[in-house]
Amino acid sequence: MTSSTVDKSTVGVGERQYHIGIAPGEVSTVALLPGDPFRVPLIAEFLTDVKTVAHQREHLTMTGWYKGRHITATSTGMGCPSTAIAAEELIRVGVTSLIRVGSSAGLQPGIKPGDLLVSEGTLRNDGTTAAYAHPGYPAVPDLRIATTLGDVARELTAGTATEVYSGLNVSDDAFYAEGPEWISQLNSLGILNVEMESSALYVVARLRGVRAGMICAASSNLFDGTSLYDGVKEALSEGWTRSIEAALETAVRLEL
């Protein structure tokens, strides 16, 4: 390596971040991470003293307060590459806990749109994390965050038709390449659900020494034959609301 070679692990540290547009001191220690920037205002509805910090590319960031905790919400965009960038830059500006609140397709019988899915670990079927770690390196959430997300979600949905599932998920890169053979294989492995971001989130968090977790609303069930095109928007929206509340309550209970 020559003396002029850029070292991305050090360049820009302590400065306003290039992609998310945030500087140190502008956000809290805990961030909720939806993929879609249009869901950041949905999180903000739960908060007081809301401020929009930045909006660059797919990364919209807002902050506010929830039951005495300062909360940040930043959208990651779709997929592991943009999620890894958002996580890296949020960590650089002081975030120490990252909770993904997203959408995910069920892969086991009975999971219906709007149900809540709590991740206990991710099968790394993505390209981004291969650049970070050995293929056998596990992509796992913080145990206390994962456990608390599940506990809170079950409390919030008690007595309702919404089910809460905890288990292993998979992160894929190619949404429209998930064919029946791959779906059946995942089902046979007991994989609970498929999404596109958590493997990068978990690997980056572990390598940088911070905490991460994920709770998703089921958007469909690929094994049972329910797709995103089957009019699931209302149920999915209700699931997003409950997942956000579960993440916020987890931040309060764990003092993240």
Extents of the domains making up the chain: 30-253
pLDDT value for 106 = 97
Q: Give the pLDDT confidence score for residue 5 in this predicted structure.
A: 92
* pLDDT on residue 1: 59
* CA-CA-CA-CA dihedral for 191, 192, 198, 200, to nearest 10: 0
Predicted model pTM: 0.97
Kindly report, residue by residue over 9-61, the tens digit of the pLDDT: 999 999 999 999 999 999 999 999 999 999 999 999 999 999 999 999 999 99
pLDDT digit string, tens, across residues 166-180: 999 999 999 999 999
Residue 216 has pLDDT above 70, yes or no: yes
Considering the four listed CATH numbers 3.40.50.1580, 1.10.8.50, 3.40.50.300, 3.40.190.10, the one that applies to the domain covering 30-253 is: 3.40.50.1580
What is the rounded CA–CA span in Å between residue 47 and residue 50? Answer: 6
Left (φ > 0), alpha (ψ -120 to 50) or beta: where does 190 sit? Answer: left
Query: Residue 3's pLDDT band (boundaries 50, 70, 90)?
Result: confident
What's the chain's average pLDDT? 96
Q: Name the token pair of 22.
A: 């945030």
pLDDT at 233 over 90: no
**193-195/97-106 β-pairing:** antiparallel
Structure confidence at residue 67 (pLDDT): 98
* Interacting residues of 30 by C-beta distance below 8 A, sequence separation 6+: 69, 70, 71, 72, 95, 96, 97, 98, 99, 251, 256
Whether pLDDT at 203 is above 70: yes
